[in-house]
Amino acid sequence: MSINEHTNIVHDKLNDKQLRQNLTNVMDTLKNNRKNLIASRYLDWEGLREQGRAVKQKSLSQLDVLLERFEQNATKNGFIVHWANDSKEVNEIIYKLMQEKHIHKILKGKSMASEETHLNAFLKQKGLEPIETDLGELIIQLIDEPPVHIVAPAIHKNRYQIGEIFAQKLGAHLESEPEKLNEIARVHLRKEFQTFQMGLSGVNFAIANEGAIWLIENEGNGRMSTTASDIHVAICGIEKIVESFEDASILDALLVPSATGAPITCYNNIITSPRKNGELDGPKEVHIILLDNNRSVMLKDAHFYRSLSCIRCGTCLNHCPVYDKIGGHAYLSTYPGPIGEVISPQLFGMKNFGHMVNLCSLCGRCSEVCPVKIPLAELIRDLRSEKVGQGRKNLKNNDGSLRDKSEEYAMNAFAKFASNGSLWRIALGLAGIFAPLAKPFSPLIPGLKNWVMYREFPHLKGNLHKKLSNMKGVIYE
C-alpha cells in the first residue's frame, strides 16, 4: 500500500465523527477506571510494575529452556503440543485436526493469535465455519470487520449501531439497551454451543513448571469454548511462557486493571489437563500450538526484544492521543496502537508495516502506563530510524525503500534551525509576526492546511525586536 493510500484511510477515519465520539467515550471511561482503581486499591503500583517487568525479562532471558520444560510437563499432563513456525503452519494444524475429526464448525473464544494468523479467512476458504463467541468478536464478524482494539474488538460501535447490526444480521428486534443486546447474542450463541465439537482459545499465560495454561475472560463464552467441546485447541505465542504460577499471578494482577480498570476478571480458567477418567466435563483432547511467527527473530535483537514483554492489556491504546482519533483500523495491522507500531514491523516486516511508525506523536504516554514498563515511545522512535535505513538494519524486509527524500530534506532543514540558537530565535520572532497574518489563509497554505483541518491554528508568541536585541552580542559583535 502506498503512503497516499494509507494517508487517505487516516483522513477517512478522522472525518468519521461518530467513530471519534465512540472512541473518546470509551477511552475516557477506561482511563478513568484505571486511574481510580490504582489510586484506591494499590499501595505500590509502581513496585508491582517493576515486578512485572522483571518477570517478563527473566522469562525471555531463558525462553528456550522454559519452552522445552513447558512441552515436557504439558505432554506429561496429557496435552498434545504442536510447534508452528508461522501463520501458515498454525492454520494447517487446525485444518488437519478438523479434517481428521470430521468437524466442520469451530467455536472460538477471543484470540488475537488467531487474528494474527488470519485463521477465519483460511478456514472459510476451505469450506469450514469459524464462529466467534466473544461478544465484540461476534459483532465485527457479522459485519466482516477486523478487531479495532486488542482487548475490546468492537469499541468503535455504540449500542445503537450494535442494535442495528443484530437486527440486520440476526433478524432480532431493534434494541439499544445493553441487557437486551447481550440477551440477543446469548440466545444466538447458545444454539451453536449445543452442537459444537471443537473450541478454540488463545493463552494469556503458559506456566512452564506446571505444563498448564491460564486463560482470563469476562463473558463465560471462553469457558464454554474450552470445556463443553470434545476438542480444545489453544494458540499460544511463545512469549506467553512464564516459569511459575507466582510469576503469572504478578502479571495477572497488572493485566486486568490496565485493560479494563477492574480489580479482577470475571473468569480465571487454569487448565492443567484434558478430561480425566471419572470427570463429567472438559474436552477429551487439548492441543496447544506454540506459535513463533518471527518472535524468535525479535528475541535476537538486544534492543527491540523488550516488546515481547507485552501482556496484551491494551492500555497503551487507551492512552494514545493518536489511536483515540483514528481507531485501530487505520493502522492496517492486526495489532494497532503503540504496541502495534513496535511489534508489527518486526513480526510482519518493515516494508509492509513501516507506515505505522508515523502514527505517533512521541508524547510518551504509552511508556508511562505500560504495566511491564516497555519503553514503547523509545522503541517507536528507533524504529523510525530503522525505517529510513539507519539504526541496526536488522529488521525483516527492511531494504531502505521507505526512505522519503522530501521528509529527509525537511528534517535536515529543521535540525539546522533547531541546533542554532540564533537562527531558532529569529525563526520564532518571524513566526510571531507572520502567524496572525497567515491564520485567515491557513486552509489554503500547503502543509499548514493539513494541520488546521483537524486542529486549532497554533498560537505563537514572538517579539522580533526584543529577540534581536537580546541576540545583539551574539550575532552583531
CA distance linking residue 319 with residue 296, whole number of Å: 29
* CA 133-139-348 angle, 5° bins: 85
CA distance linking residue 172 with residue 152, whole number of Å: 23
Burial string for 263-275 (b: 16+ CB within 10 Å, else e) reads eebeeebebbbbb
What is the pLDDT confidence band of residue 167, given thresholds at 50, 70 and 90? Answer: very high
Q: How many CB atoms lie within 10 A of CB 422?
A: 13
Residue 273 falls inside a structural domain: yes
Q: Could you tell me if 340 and 202 lie in one domain?
A: no
pLDDT more than 90, % of the chain: 73
Q: Residue 103 has what DSSP assignment?
A: -
Does the pLDDT of residue 328 top 60, yes or no?
A: yes
Residue 94 falls inside a structural domain: yes
- The total domain count for the chain is 3
pLDDT more than 70, % of the chain: 93
Residue 412 falls inside a structural domain: no
pLDDT for 57 equals 97
Residue 475 falls inside a structural domain: no
Q: Are 417 and 368 in contact (CB under 8 A)?
A: no
Q: Burial of 145 by CB count in 10 Å (0-12 exposed, 13-18 middle, 19+ buried)?
A: middle
Average pLDDT, the chain: 90
CA distance linking residue 316 with residue 336, whole number of Å: 10
Which residue has cell 499432563? 77
End-of-domain residue from the set 293, 323, 344: 293
pLDDT for 472 equals 46
The widest CA-to-CA distance across the chain, in whole angstroms, is 95
pLDDT for 424 equals 86
Q: Could you tell me if 138 and 234 lie in one domain?
A: yes
Domain containing 240 — which CATH number? 3.40.50.10420
Q: Are 338 and 362 in contact (CB under 8 A)?
A: no
Residue 410 falls inside a structural domain: no
Q: Could you tell me if 148 and 233 lie in one domain?
A: yes
Q: Could you tell me if 271 and 327 lie in one domain?
A: no
Q: Could you tell me if 265 and 131 lie in one domain?
A: yes
CA separation, residue 47 to residues 127, 277, 310, 366, 372 (Å): 51, 44, 18, 18, 11
CA distance linking residue 107 with residue 246, whole number of Å: 31
Residue 343 falls inside a structural domain: yes
Domain containing 365 — which CATH number? 1.10.1060
**Which structural domain range is residue 464 located in?**
417-470
* 98 CB-near residues (< 8 Å, 6+ apart): 104, 106, 123, 128, 198
Lowest mean pLDDT among 72-86, 177-191, 422-436: 422-436
Q: Which three cell numbers stand for residue 447?
A: 502543509
> Which amino acid is residue 405, in one-letter code?
K
What is the pLDDT confidence band of residue 465, given thresholds at 50, 70 and 90? Answer: very low
Q: Could you tell me if 266 and 350 lie in one domain?
A: no
pLDDT for 172 equals 95
pLDDT digits over 66-90, tens only?
999 999 999 999 999 999 999 999 9
Residue 409 falls inside a structural domain: no
* 413 CB-near residues (< 8 Å, 6+ apart): none
* 206 CB-near residues (< 8 Å, 6+ apart): 70, 212, 213, 214, 236, 240, 241, 242, 288
Does the pLDDT of residue 456 top 90, yes or no?
A: no
End-of-domain residue from the set 403, 430, 447: 403
> Which amino acid is residue 408, in one-letter code?
E
Q: What phi, psi does 466 have (nearest 5°)?
A: -65, -40
What is the pLDDT confidence band of residue 440, given thresholds at 50, 70 and 90? Answer: confident
Q: Could you tell me if 110 and 177 lie in one domain?
A: yes
Q: Are 249 and 234 in contact (CB under 8 A)?
A: no
End-of-domain residue from the set 403, 432, 449: 403
> Which amino acid is residue 338, in one-letter code?
P
What is the pLDDT averaged over residues 371-380?
97
Q: Could you tell me if 399 and 465 lie in one domain?
A: no
Which residue has cell 511491564? 372
Which residue has cell 451453536? 192
DSSP helix/strand/coil, 275: coil
Q: Could you tell me if 235 and 260 lie in one domain?
A: yes
CA distance linking residue 349 with residue 342, whole number of Å: 11
What is the pLDDT confidence band of residue 471, given thresholds at 50, 70 and 90? Answer: very low
Q: Could you tell me if 170 and 224 lie in one domain?
A: yes
Q: Could you tell me if 5 and 89 lie in one domain?
A: no
In the 3-class helix/strand/coil scheme, how is 108-149 assigned residue by residue? Answer: ECCCHHHHHCCHHHHHHHCCCEEEECCHHHHHHHHCCCCCCC
pLDDT for 460 equals 66
Which residue has cell 518571524? 430
Give the predicted TM-score (pTM) of the model. Answer: 0.88
pLDDT digits over 302-312, tens only?
899 999 999 99
Lowest mean pLDDT among 18-27, 256-265, 286-295, 387-396: 387-396
pLDDT digits over 403-418, tens only?
777 777 888 888 888 8
Residue 476 falls inside a structural domain: no
Q: Could you tell me if 152 and 99 lie in one domain?
A: yes
pLDDT digits over 29-58, tens only?
999 999 999 999 999 999 999 999 999 999
pLDDT for 399 equals 61
